A and B are shown apart, each in its own frame.
Chain A
Amino acid sequence: MDATFRLWRSEPGGAGALTDYKTPVSEGMVVLDAVHRIQAEQAPDLAVRWNCKAGKCGSCSAEINGKPRLMCMTRLSTLDLNKPVIVEPMKTFPLIKDLVTDVSWNFSVKKTIQKFKPRQPDAPDGTWRMAQKDIDRVQEHRKCIECFLCQDVCHVLRDHGKHDEFIGPRFLLYAAQLEMNPLDTADRLHDLKDKHNIGYCNITKCCTAVCPEHIKITDNAIIPLKERVVDRFYDPVTRLLRMFK
């Protein structure tokens, strides 16, 4: 059976257009398989970023039929193949070519977040003790594969272009796992409020909806961070006490 894939093709730094490619498909295939087949047989210079093809590295992020997805984890059996499958690059980042975008902004944002700063070791041999139940949440956050699909879907970045003011769900999650790490002693709340503008997030949960690792970004990371910021800076009782300090 053949299916049609409507891929975004572009000239470097120039205009682009959706282009149809017809290719044979078989049971169990994912979108990335089809894209690879097209690349090997019809469009050898097609630009597509990928690595592990197993949902573990977060390289092949794209918008499939308008939804931010990993190409390697989107099975063709979940799509309607009677219509062309539309594959486009992420829209929140500058386009390099075809399906590949420039995601370097994300790497520079990470540098603005205070690094992990552990407390003094608990044992004389320089090691720490932590209970599993105290790190379950942190481990959920650390499942992130940095595919940046949450950044792609976030309207603060995508529609309002606040890349200079707002760090996006990925890095709120990153800050959350540091803040919730039982060993960490750094304080990132001030930065979150004033520099990273956590307040811009109005919890529409789009990031959670697209996360391929099923991390509850909004409920388990952003909202708890917002609560910490509110408790610290906006709680009336605390403010009152601070006035008399």
Chain B
Amino acid sequence: MATHQTYNYDVLVIGAGGAGLRAAIEAANAGVTVGLICKSLLGKAHTVMAEGGMAAAMGHNDDRDNWKVHFADTMRGGQYVNNWRMAEIHAKEAPERVRELEAWGAVFDRTPDGRINQRNFGGHRYPRLAHVGDRTGLELIRTLQDHTVYLGVTVHMEHTVIQLLMDGGRASGVVAYDRERGRFHVFTAKAVILATGGVGRAYKITSNSWEGTGDGHALAFRAGAELIDMEFIQFHPTGMVWPPSVKGILVTEGVRGEGGVLKNSEGRRFMFDDIPDNYKPQTASDAEEGWRYVTGDKSARRPPELLTRDHVARSINREVKAGRGSPHGGVFLDIAWIKEKISGGEAHIKRKLPSMYHQFKELADLDITTTPMEVGPTTHYIMGGIKVDADSQMSSIPGLYAAGECASGINGANRLGGNSLSDLIVFGKRAGEYAAEYAKSSGPIKANDTEVDKAIKESLAPFDRGGRVENPYKVQEELQDTMQSLVGIVRLEDEMKEAHSRLQGYKERWTRVGVSGHREYNGGWHTAIDLLNLLDVAEAIALSAIERRESRGGHFREDYPDKVAEFGTFNIMVKQAPGGGIQVSRLPLPAMPAELRQVVEEQQQ
């Protein structure tokens, strides 16, 4: 079937957010040919929305910081089910990756002595986030994008991958279509890097852009790769709750890092009411100490608003459920109050949080320098994903790599804010490096024509059914409602089983979705194709969450509200069962070496 064009590369990168771009740069520098496929235009990926900063223990604002503290913070935040080796590599290599960005043209905010400025963030002991106001993601993606332009990387924009190709048990390329014209393309490559981001679109309220449909997770899963930690989803505590059309849009943790406080309808700073034991020694005892912390007093401990995201999100949930919420079902986040504390507070807020000022002014008609914001939890990030080798980022399939949000391991049960952007560049670089090496040392591959023809035929099936059957938008919406209400921030076995059974119904309906019109930029068709990925990841999330009968990090079970030591010894793993369906198993955590265990213990104080 000669209905497609073919391209050949040594290394093929899927996704052009921070991880994909960084991987492409590294592979190109290694001297191999590199192709880069992205679902959107270049520079529009979800990385662009990251706000607060990237965590790297450079110690510019507090010289007590170093990789050991960062490592221990990451492990504690992840409740010790992280891959310790990834957390170690990340903490050690992040500073160099950040400095490299400056050499490529990134312009970070400065300290008074002219170095890269670092800000406070939840779960990080010291000010650690290199940032550019509250638009750090834009700075990251633009810097990488502009650097890539001159490296000879071929970029295929607005292409969606529908199938991962295999050649004798090894990844050999992908089948994709271009969204603009709806034509099919086959890409063969000796190594394939998935950098496709997250799955937020499986939920109704999310901070994710439309692209977060779990494509990489699902493509790898269907090709037989192993996924771990899929039950761990981060609900960011502060998303916008009003107006309805912007519900879920992120309000950066940087607001709290700059002194913003959370209050309920009674005006109480409820975060002081419930501080977990393992964070008590590091948490401020009163409002005054919290304020001293955010203004740089090294003897002060951080305010409880800067506890880990899972905890803050659940606390907000509790206040709302107890009837102490704000008018539109959230709580109040107040940054305006700092005007009492510092002169020129209004200008300070606008300079430190320009996008937040702009976002609330334009979308909610609210001035954050005078009025508290209304915020509530929003689906933000998936800690789980493709299981990878910590050093090389290779998945369980030879020649298939994963980096960034679609890979798993570094974050454990909960990711610290700021660890995502640094994850992208640390492991993006490693994926690019090792994939290039693999491509150089491995023999030729070819695309399997039967596999290609089958993938193309299946993806066109919705056109054959026409526009009068199942509406893909409708099925997607119902799936999002189900996941939101039954596999959300607070979980119960029965509800999740109900979700699982509904998912089987959506899967059946998916075989009947139809679309009308032409293949050119057809939104309905695109939605039908993305929907299959959402169905696969939603099922993986539900089954993993049922299996973990305890509460830990981003996974909270009302029927098992406590952490159980036994569950801290393994990750939940899912993979495709031989006859279809999902196989769930428990994968023991590798033992942490003695010297790292010691680091963790030293930092516990």
Q: Which residues of A contact B (CB under 8 A)?
A: 11-12, 26-30, 33, 39-41, 44-59, 73, 75, 96-98, 100, 102-104, 107, 110-111, 115-116, 118, 126-132, 135, 138-139, 142-143, 145-146, 177-178, 181, 183, 214
Q: Does the CB pair A44–B363 fall under 8 Å?
A: no
Residue of A nearest to B473 (CB): A40
CB-CB under 8 A from A100, the residues of chain B are 180, 521
Distance in Å: Cβ of A97 to nearest Cβ of chain B: 5
A182 to B365, CA, bound (A): 37
A189 to B245, CA, bound (A): 45
Q: A45-B525, A135-B107 are in contact. List 20 more A-B contacts (CB 8 A).
A: A26-B244, A27-B243, A28-B243, A28-B245, A28-B363, A29-B244, A30-B245, A44-B471, A45-B518, A45-B522, A53-B249, A54-B250, A56-B137, A57-B40, A107-B42, A115-B105, A127-B102, A132-B109, A139-B133, A214-B358
Contact partner of B180 (CB less than 8 A), chosen from A26, A59, A96, is A96
Q: Does the CB pair A47–B521 fall under 8 Å?
A: yes
Q: Does the CB pair A39–B105 fall under 8 Å?
A: no
Residue of A nearest to B528 (CB): A44
Chain B, 508-523, contact with A by CB distance < 8 Å: what is the 0/1 string?
Answer: 0000000111101111
CB-CB under 8 A from B42, the residues of chain A are 107
- Interface residues on chain B, size class: 35 or more
Give the one of A41, A116, A178 with max B CB within 10 A: A116
- B26 at the A interface (CB under 8 A): no
A223 to B147, CA, bound (A): 26
CB-CB under 8 A from A46, the residues of chain B are 523
Give the one of A52, A116, A139 with max B CB within 10 A: A52
Residue of B nearest to A111 (CB): B149
9 A-B pairs with the lowest CB-CB distances in the bound complex, closest first: A28-B243, A45-B517, A129-B114, A44-B524, A47-B521, A116-B105, A40-B473, A12-B520, A132-B110
Q: Does the CB pair B245–A129 fall under 8 Å?
A: no
A128 to B135, CA, bound (A): 21
Contact (A75, B114) CB under 8 Å given A39-B473, A44-B515, A47-B521: no
Distance in Å: Cβ of B379 to nearest Cβ of chain A: 14
Residue of B nearest to A118 (CB): B103
Residue of A nearest to B60 (CB): A127
Chain B, 152-191, contact with A by CB distance < 8 Å: what is the 0/1 string?
Answer: 0001010000000000000000000000110000000000
Q: Does the CB pair A28–B246 fall under 8 Å?
A: yes
Q: Does the CB pair B104–A116 fall under 8 Å?
A: yes
Distance in Å: Cβ of A132 to nearest Cβ of chain B: 4
User: Could you list 20 A-B pairs, sorted by A, with CB under 8 Å?
Assistant: A11-B518, A12-B520, A27-B243, A28-B242, A28-B246, A30-B245, A30-B363, A39-B524, A40-B473, A44-B522, A52-B46, A52-B48, A53-B246, A54-B363, A55-B363, A57-B40, A107-B155, A127-B99, A145-B48, A145-B138
Q: Which residues of B contact A (CB under 8 A)?
A: 40-46, 48-49, 99, 102-105, 107, 109-110, 113-117, 132-133, 135, 137-139, 142, 146-147, 149-150, 155, 157, 180-181, 209-211, 242-246, 249-250, 354-355, 358-359, 362-365, 467, 471-474, 477, 515-518, 520-525
CB-CB under 8 A from B246, the residues of chain A are 28, 30, 53-54
Q: Does the CB pair A47–B135 fall under 8 Å?
A: no
Q: Does the CB pair A44–B516 fall under 8 Å?
A: yes
Give the one of B245, B359, B472, B518 with max A CB within 10 A: B245
A126 to B100, CA, bound (A): 9
CB-CB under 8 A from B45, the residues of chain A are 51
Residue of B nearest to A98 (CB): B521
Q: Does the CB pair B44–A59 fall under 8 Å?
A: yes
Residue of B nearest to A108 (CB): B149
CB-CB under 8 A from B105, the residues of chain A are 115-116, 118, 178, 181
Q: Does the CB pair A97–B473 fall under 8 Å?
A: no
